[in-house]
Amino acid sequence: MKPALAKTPEPNALEELGRATVQIVHDLKNQLNGLKLYATFLRKRLERDDRAIEERETLEKLIAGLDRSARDMTALVQYARPIELHRQARADLKGILSSAVGEVARRITGPLIEPITCNIEPGSLHGEFDPVALTESLAALTLEAYGTTPKNDFNTSIHVSTTRTNATTEAFIEWRGVKSRNRSRDSQSTGLDENIHVILAARVIAAHDGRIQFDKDVIRVWLPLSN
């Protein structure tokens, strides 16, 4: 007797599952935000009562974990939807990158042993960008390069310059010293692995008519600039 083959789910059933998943994620995010409010309240109480630094650090880690879980849930919902950009004419890529690096410094658990260094070529770096989506994407790539915990055996640096490709001026961004993962793929690989935030970052960059490339210890991004 042959075993019964599993049936392919009906499209309507998949749509219903998708809607239910989005609703569950939305509810979980609300619960996480509530927990974060309680944790923030406790942290302020501990600071006011001058409690042991270990207790305050524990709450800081708890709040960081809640934030990370909320971002993961947001990414899960975004992953299931088409990328929609809200572009701004002549948005400043330097400001966007600065915001992304600042966000990464805030998210990293523990003190930064070395600051994330940005070397930016002088001159204008304006383009038709979605500042919110691109900030989150560049932050995700910086976290991929630097890792979520500080390390003392390498220095990650970001280098930004301009280049010309097929008569188009592009911003060329390189994250050097990438050792957050053991990359063994060649330079043509997407190298996205299982990190949904990096996958979304690649999709956002592609939606901006840009490109992304991973090497063993370098991440490269090209983004078109305004004339």
Percent of the chain with pLDDT strictly greater than 70? 80
Identity (one letter) of the amino acid at 183? R
User: Taking the alpha carbons of 188, 194, 197, 200 in that order, is the dihedral positive or negative?
Assistant: positive
- pLDDT tens string 43-71: 788 777 777 777 777 887 788 778 778 77
CATH topology of domain 88-224: Heat Shock Protein 90 (3.30.565)
pLDDT of residue 206: 96
Total residue count of the chain as it appears in this document: 227
pLDDT band with cut points at 50, 70 and 90 for residue 10: low
pTM more than 0.75: no
- pLDDT tens string 70-106: 777 777 777 777 888 999 999 999 999 999 998 888 7
Averaged pLDDT of the chain: 79
pLDDT of residue 222: 97
Residue ranges per domain, the chain?
Answer: 11-79, 88-224
Instruction: List beta partners, residue 160.
Output: 120, 173
pLDDT of residue 54: 79
pLDDT of residue 207: 96
Q: What are phi and psi of 167, to 5 degrees?
A: 70, 10
Listed in sequence order, the DSSP H helices in the chain are 11-48, 53-79, 93-107, 131-146, 196-207
Burial code of 66-83, b = ≥16 C-beta within 10 A, e = fewer?
Answer: beeebbebbbeebeeeee
CA distances from 171 to 25, 80, 124, 192, 198 (A): 36, 29, 10, 21, 19
C-alpha span between 78 and 91 (Å, rounded)? 23
pLDDT band with cut points at 50, 70 and 90 for residue 113: low
- Over residues 125-133, the mean pLDDT reads 96
170 has pLDDT over 50: yes
